[in-house]
Amino acid sequence: MSDPEDPELEPSRLPTFLADDLVGRGDGARIHLAADEITHVRAARIRPGARLAVTDGKGRCWEGELVELDRRRARCWLLRALPVRPPLPLRVWAPVAKRDRSLWLVEKVVELGASAVTWIEWERSRSVGDAGRSEGFRRRVGKRVRAAVKQSGGSWLPRLDGPATLEEALAGHDGAGWLADVSDPSLLAGGALRDPCRSGHGSPLTLAVGPEGGLTRAERRRCVEAGFELVSLGQGTLRFETAAIAAVAIASAILENLEGT
């Protein structure tokens, strides 16, 4: 675990916290961390004088120094703006399922760089689709994505959409797409894994993962007609959350390499 009080600590290794708004702020400004961050600061045993990274989740990030901490507020002094990379053009379509599994999925794909998650009402997941509309579920998802952004040292909170029907999601789809499928393990070596964004660097890539029981033939056909490529992650049948995380890990690594070329 990194020591936030180490003056030689690289900015990329500073613990990251969220602030409500950094618009118009500059060197020397005093800002308050988001109210729900106070418990995290205290749990991490970060004391006044320690360095940390502060982001608003909208692409602004600063190196700061904690100057005040009590039970009601945590205040920082902004030292210098930190460079921020644009978010990866990586989207995830996933089914709503049992709460813990959906929450685990969204947390991990955001840690890996997904910039948007849409909950899809697949034919075989409609019976639990209403769970994705509940205020409790949305609140828990929000907490998980905030924690994931901080864990990964990111500066962009993802867009969260849905639940949506497949037709609604396809109506707004653009860019390239992968559809996780187990019907043909030879697809693992297909061109999609070598070049996920054939339409050019920076084009969005959407990763679609079906529900328990898989996709119907009609759903698979509609996705392929919309430009999705079938990709396999091996011969085993994975749980939907495992498939999503594995696919995002592969795609994010490829997209990172493409951005560096």
**What are the pLDDT digits (tens) for 8-39?**
556 568 999 999 878 778 788 999 999 889 99
Decide: 90 and 207 in contact? Cβ < 8 Å. yes
Q: What's the alpha-carbon Rg for the chain, to the nearest Å?
A: 20
Q: What is the mean pLDDT of residues 84-96?
A: 93
161 or 10: which leads in pLDDT = 161
Residue 7 has pLDDT above 80, yes or no: no
Structure tokens at 143: 């907490």
Buried b (16+ CB within 10 A) or exposed e, 214-233: bbeeebbeebeebbbbbbbb
Rounded to whole angstroms, the Cα distance separating 72 from 97 reads 36
In the chain the domains, ranked by start, together with CATH numbers, are 11-81 (2.40.240.20), 90-259 (3.40.1280.10)
Q: Which residues contact 95 (CB under 8 A, 6 or more apart)?
A: 102, 119, 120, 121, 122, 125, 209, 210, 211, 212, 240
Beta pairing class for 74-81 and 30-32: antiparallel
Residue 4 has pLDDT above 90, yes or no: no
Rounded to whole angstroms, the Cα distance separating 145 from 140 reads 9
Q: What is the mean pLDDT of residues 53-66?
A: 95
Q: What is the pLDDT of residue 189?
A: 36
CA angle, corner 50, sides to 61 and 78, nearest 5? 35
Residue 1 has pLDDT above 60, yes or no: no
Residue 252 to residues 12, 110, 119, 220, Cα–Cα distance (Å): 18, 11, 20, 24
Structure tokens at 4: 């936030």
Long-range contacts of 76-80 (CB under 8 A, 24+ apart): 76/19, 76/30, 76/31, 76/32, 76/33, 76/52, 77/28, 77/29, 77/30, 78/22, 78/25, 78/26, 78/27, 78/28, 78/29, 78/30, 78/31, 78/54, 79/27, 79/51, 80/27
| HSE of 143, CA atoms in CB hemisphere, 13 A | 11
